C-alpha cells in the first residue's frame, strides 16, 4: 500500500520554483485536462514537462490558434517583444535560464534559432516554451540543444540529431 506525503517539494530542475507535485511512492496521477490531446504533436515532451512544470495561470497576453502540421491547433500567446525576456525568465523550466540572445538547436527541425524567437503555447493548464519551428516539427524547450564547446551534436545513423 502506498503512503502519500502531502508536503510540497521543489522542482529538481528548477530548485527555486515550487513543484505542484506531492511526494508519493507512486507515479503522480493527472486528470484528463492536464494531459496532452491524444492526437497532438510532441506528446512525450508534453508529458515530461507536465511532470517538471507545475500548472500555471494564463499569461496576461492574448491567445490565438496556431495551425499545426498535424493534430489539433495549439493556442499561442501573442507576446510583445519587450516582454519576451521577462516571460522567458518566468517560465523556463531549467537552471540556469539562458540569455535571450543565445542560440539553440531545435533537434526536431535540425535548425539553429535565437532564443528570443521562442513561442509560448497554452496546454495542459500550463504555459510551454516552444521553438519557432514548433508548428512544423513540434520542438519544445526540452528539444533545445545548446551550442558551443559544452555540447557536441552527433548525427545518429537514422538521421536524428542528438546532443552528447
pLDDT, one tens digit per residue, over 107-122 is 989 999 999 999 999 9
List the beta bridge partners of residue 113. Answer: 104
Q: How far apart are CA 118 and CA 122, in angstroms?
A: 14
Specify the residue for cell string 506528446.
43
Q: What is the mean pLDDT of residues 63-79?
A: 94
- Whether the model pTM is above 0.75: no
User: Looking at the DSSP assignment, which residues form a beta bridge with residue 104?
Assistant: 113, 146
Give residue for cell 497554452: 122
**141: helix, strand or coil:** helix
Q: Where exactly are the structural domains of the chain? A: 4-163
Per the structure block, which three cell numbers stand in for 64?
490565438
pLDDT tens digits for range 75-87: 999 999 999 999 9
Contacts of 96 (CB under 8 A, 6+ apart): none
Amino acid at each position: 500500500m502506498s503512503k502519500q506525503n502531502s508536503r510540497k517539494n521543489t522542482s529538481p530542475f528548477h530548485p527555486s520554483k515550487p513543484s505542484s507535485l506531492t511526494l508519493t511512492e507512486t507515479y503522480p496521477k493527472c486528470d484528463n485536462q492536464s494531459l496532452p490531446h491524444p492526437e497532438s504533436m510532441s506528446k512525450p515532451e508534453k508529458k515530461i514537462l507536465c511532470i517538471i512544470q507545475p500548472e500555471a495561470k494564463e499569461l496576461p497576453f492574448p491567445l490565438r490558434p496556431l495551425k499545426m502540421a498535424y493534430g489539433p491547433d495549439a493556442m499561442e500567446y501573442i507576446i510583445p517583444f519587450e516582454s519576451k525576456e521577462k516571460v522567458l525568465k518566468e517560465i523556463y523550466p531549467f537552471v540556469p535560464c539562458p540569455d535571450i540572445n543565445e542560440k539553440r538547436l531545435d533537434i526536431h527541425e535540425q535548425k539553429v534559432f535565437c532564443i528570443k524567437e521562442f513561442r509560448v503555447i497554452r496546454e495542459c493548464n500550463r504555459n510551454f516554451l516552444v521553438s519557432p519551428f514548433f508548428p512544423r516539427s513540434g520542438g519544445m524547450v526540452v528539444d533545445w540543444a545548446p551550442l558551443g564547446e559544452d555540447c557536441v551534436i552527433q548525427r545518429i545513423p537514422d538521421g536524428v540529431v542528438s546532443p552528447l
